[in-house]
Amino acid sequence: DVKVTQSSRYLVKRTGEKVFLECVQDMDHENMFWYRQDPGLGLRLIYFSYDVKMKEKGDIPEGYSVSREKKERFSLILESASTNQTSMYLCASGTVGLRTDTQYFGPGTRLTVL
Amino acid sequence: DQQVKQNSPSLSVQEGRISILNCDYTNSMFDYFLWYKKYPAEGPTFLISISSIKDKNEDGRFTVFLNKSAKHLSLHIVPSQPGDSAVYFCAASSNFGNEKLTFGTGTRLTIIP
């Protein structure tokens, strides 16, 4: 059974704080993704990674950075949190080459920036 | 620019009836389509997919139909059950997208007992 875990289910931070969201997958997947989910906007891709130390910008990378030092772990970093980054953050992982494009999601982190 | 659109934010269906969720896309490079289901406080889970070489894929109570000329896909759930109440997202990818998915805005389905 594929398992994607995220470090926190709920997080409250203050404007200007540096925020780390951690994601770990146990299926040896090459690809990992960070999305945010907002009402009326669906899931929007922030960053993704195809391999260790590789990263690619998604559709809304501004204000975020990522780190992938180990294959199983993908971190999302908010360098200076702002109120418009209040959202549900979802991590996902998936394999390459099978052309199934199925991604497996973690439970999400509800981040509130005050 | 929303490349994948779900124009109905919500849908209510009687238990036992058919639920039809719709999705439109604009990018003609998309060649693989998926539906995900999301319960509150959980991550989305994969439901069913379809390749552009097909026009229909069935898995139990769930059937996805693809109309490439209209750039439209739909998910049919028959019969609808209370456990189907969730938010449904359609997603699309292209062979050149390196497994990157573009998601729609979601449709909240409520099954009325």
Q: Which residues of A touch B98 (CB under 8 A)?
A: 31, 50, 96
The torsion angle over the Cα atoms of residues A14, A78, A93 and B63, rounded to 10 degrees, is 70
Q: Which residues of A touch B34 (CB under 8 A)?
A: 101-102
Helical residues (DSSP H) of chain B, grouped into ranges: none
- Comparing C-alpha atoms, which of A95, A94, A88, A92 is closest to residue A111? A88
The number of C-alpha atoms within 13 Å of B4 and in the hemisphere containing its C-beta is 28
Q: What is the pLDDT of residues A60-104, one digit of tens each?
A: 999 999 999 999 999 999 999 999 999 999 999 987 655 556 788
- Residue B93, pLDDT > 90, answer no
Contact A110, A7 (CB under 8 A): no
The mean-pLDDT minimum among A16-20, A87-91, B92-96 falls in B92-96
Q: What is the pLDDT of residues B33-84, one digit of tens each?
A: 999 999 988 899 999 999 999 999 999 999 999 999 999 999 999 999 999 9
Cβ under 8 Å to B: A residues 47-66: 48, 50, 58
Asked if the Cβ–Cβ distance from B44 to A90 is below 8 Å, we say: yes
Cβ under 8 Å to A: B residues 19-58: 32, 34, 36, 41-46, 49
Phi, psi of A17 (to 5 degrees): -70, 155
Q: What is the CA radius of gyration of chain B?
A: 13
Asked if the Cβ–Cβ distance from B6 to A42 is below 8 Å, we say: yes
